Amino acid sequence: MIYKMILTVMMAMALLTFAIAGSTPKFKDVLETPALKSALAAKSLLNGIAVAGKRLVSVGQRGHILYSDDGGKNWTQVQVPASSDLVAVYFPTPEKGWAVGHDGVVLHSADSGLTWVKQFDGYAAARIALSYYTAHPPAGRPGGTAAVSGLQETIQRFVQEGADKHFLDVWFDNETDGFIVGSFNTIFHTTDGGRNWQPWFERTENPGLAHLYAVRRIGQDIFISGEQGLVLKLDPGAGMFRRVKVPYPGTFFGVTGRTGALLVFGMRGQVFRSANGGQSWQKVETGVSVGLTGSTVTKDGRLVLVSQGGDVLVSKDDGLSFQTAKVEKALPAAAVAAFGEDTLVLAGFGGLAIRSIK
């Protein structure tokens, strides 16, 4: 009797072990797992927003991408081939756009955001960086990030991390020429619409490998902003991003402005303005003490900044001064897009919202 009881218990334990083993979920790579549809996608965390012709496109957590054809009143979620968190989106033309995010993911749309394909990811980034710098040692390039001595260690770490890369912004000058930037001085350049990417790690004066948060053209020049007061300006002749000195050591989350008015903005409501392409700077008082996280330029040329505290700041004098706009309800924002004459569409922790700045 005792033997039978022991045998029964052993069989039960074996069956339980088998059931547990059989029910253990297999690892699913987010880069190969399509984003799930959610009825609450428009109210979830959304990090980026862009205008694609007459359409708005927003991107966010778990690979969510949504579009609106009625100025942000209604949103439709689309199919996305990866479920990595998306951070930024940019459309240089009404049809062609790119979205980037964690795991080194780069998505491309050729139909105003209706469909997306995965164009690049962290695995490909590591392979391409290793292959490129093996074939093209940067010995002859002066003033690079880690010069010659440290770049190989940087590439080695980049490869060992696998897909664990974070792209934080994307910008294209046209439908073929663009940059993606991200954590620890990650930067790639394409001249063929993203079919091929070239690493530019040694082409930035960023020896501390500070994170790169934003890349934009302002007037005739291309700028990158990052942590620890980093602002870089492209020297086209040398093919290098040269450091521009700014009198602030904190993080700059973004770059905005118009010809003759360059602004960088970031932590603690800090804004600095340059009227001469970054040669000299003046601090702009904002009255805000939280991080400024997004920007846009309205149709009539007003500069708009939004904060993680829900502030909406508007400048009518090319960034010399800002006033706080009265909005019906504050939305902690990560990004903003101007749409129409006086309408802003904000993306952030609470999803998407329309605000008027008349």
DSSP annotation of 256 reads E
Residue 117, amino acid: V
Q: Give the per-residue pLDDT at 327.
A: 84
Average pLDDT of the chain?
A: 90
Percent residues over pLDDT 90 in the chain = 79
Tell me: pLDDT of 4 over 50: no
Share of the chain above pLDDT 70, in %: 89
Residue range 114-125: average pLDDT? 97
C-alpha distances (whole Å) from 33 to each of 27, 36, 82, 83, 121 are 11, 9, 5, 6, 13
pTM recorded for the entire structure: 0.89
Q: How confident is the model at residue 2 (pLDDT cuts 50, 70, 90)?
A: very low
The token pair at 264 is 């960088």
- Taking residues 5-25, what's their average pLDDT? 41
- The residue behind tokens 């390039």 is 141
Domains of the chain: 33-171 (2.40.10.500), 204-351 (2.130.10.10)
Say how many residues make up the chain: 358
More confident residue, 129 or 25: 129
